[in-house]
Amino acid sequence: MNQTQYKVADSKREEFRKYLEKAGVLDAITKVLVSLYEEPEKPTNALDYLGQFLQSGPPQTADVEELKLNLEQIQNLNAQLTKENEELRQRLQQYEPAGDDQVTQES
């Protein structure tokens, strides 16, 4: 390749890069890669993740915040129920010693 051919190839590359930038492709790819990087649990299939993200866009901030709030509420409820369950098990042990596996029925 001579110098003129290099300039033509570089010119075409630069033109294509500008096209991608203008169309928002570079920004979208950057966002999806950042989103994938920030995922606490990486998806098993990164290509599917990229495809879904590019098709639907990033999750809306309000949706994410609502889901985080719901998660926190459910985790709190789970902790309460776990504590209550343990307390009830302890109370039950007072009436049914651990050695008695069968409940006696009165006739």
Question: Does residue 53 share a domain with residue 6?
Answer: yes
Which tokens in the block code for residue 81? Answer: 């129920």
Q: Which residues contact 35 (CB under 8 A, 6 or more apart)?
A: 53, 58
Residues 20 and 38 in one domain: yes
Q: What is the pLDDT of residue 102?
A: 53
pLDDT at site 52: 85
Determine, yes or no, domain membership for 28.
yes
Q: What is the pLDDT of residue 95?
A: 87
With a cut of 70, say whether residue 97 has pLDDT above it: yes
Q: Are residues 51 and 84 in the same domain?
A: no
pLDDT confidence bin for 58, thresholds 50/70/90: low
Reported as a pLDDT band with limits 50, 70 and 90, residue 107 is very low
Residue 31 · residue 58 · CB < 8 Å: yes
Tell me if the pTM is above 0.85. no
CA 69-74-78 angle, 5° bins: 150
**Structural domain boundaries, residue 7:** 1-58
**97 HSE (CA, 13 A, CB side):** 2
Q: Is 107 helix (H, G, I), strand (E, B) or coil?
A: coil
Mean pLDDT of the chain: 84
Instruction: List pLDDT tens digits, range 63-87.
Output: 778 888 999 999 999 999 999 999 9
Q: Do residues 35 and 70 both lie within one domain?
A: no
- Which has the closest alpha carbon to 33: 16, 19, 53? 53
- The answer to whether position 104 is within a domain reads no
* Most confident of the following: 38-42, 52-56, 83-87: 83-87
Q: Which residue has the higher pLDDT, 14 or 59?
A: 14
H/E element, 17: helix 3-23
